[in-house]
């Protein structure tokens, strides 16, 4: 996407995803999580969950989402379908 970023590794074997500093960013304790220091209103934005991150980055860069509402609806449908499939898989494995 051509965006600058700094990556911070989270060691799930050590339980880093349960550290209070990480939970402030991602209360679901899941990766990825994004801190956008200069959000749309000039204040930091914290984003967690893959789907929310993808939607945010797509809107921010005007890439991957399509220029028309009809195209954005198509992308959202596939994204929500993937979310539902992941939920079903996680429940089946619980």
The CATH number of whichever domain residue 20 belongs to comes to 3.40.30.10
Overall number of domains in the chain: 2
23 compared with 54, residue with greater pLDDT:
23
Residue 92 confidence (pLDDT): 87
Task: Identify whether residues 55 and 91 lie together within a single domain.
Answer: yes
pLDDT band at 12 (very low <50, low <70, confident <90, very high): very high
Residue 67 confidence (pLDDT): 86
Task: Identify whether residues 40 and 22 lie together within a single domain.
Answer: yes
54 falls within a domain: yes
1 falls within a domain: no
Residue 7 confidence (pLDDT): 93
Residue 43 confidence (pLDDT): 92
Q: What value, to the nearest 5°, has the Cα angle with vertex 19 and ends 22 and 23?
A: 40
Record the pTM. 0.76
């Amino acid at each position: 996407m051509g965006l600058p970023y700094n990556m911070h590794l989270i060691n799930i074997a050590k339980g880093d995803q349960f550290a209070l500093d990480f939970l402030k960013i991602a209360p679901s304790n899941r990766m990825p999580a994004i801190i956008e220091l200069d959000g749309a209103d000039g204040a930091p934005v914290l984003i967690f969950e893959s789907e929310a991150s993808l939607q945010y980055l797509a809107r921010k860069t005007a890439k991957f989402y399509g220029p028309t509402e009809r195209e954005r609806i198509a992308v959202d449908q596939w994204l929500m379908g993937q979310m539902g499939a992941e939920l079903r898989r996680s429940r089946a494995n619980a």
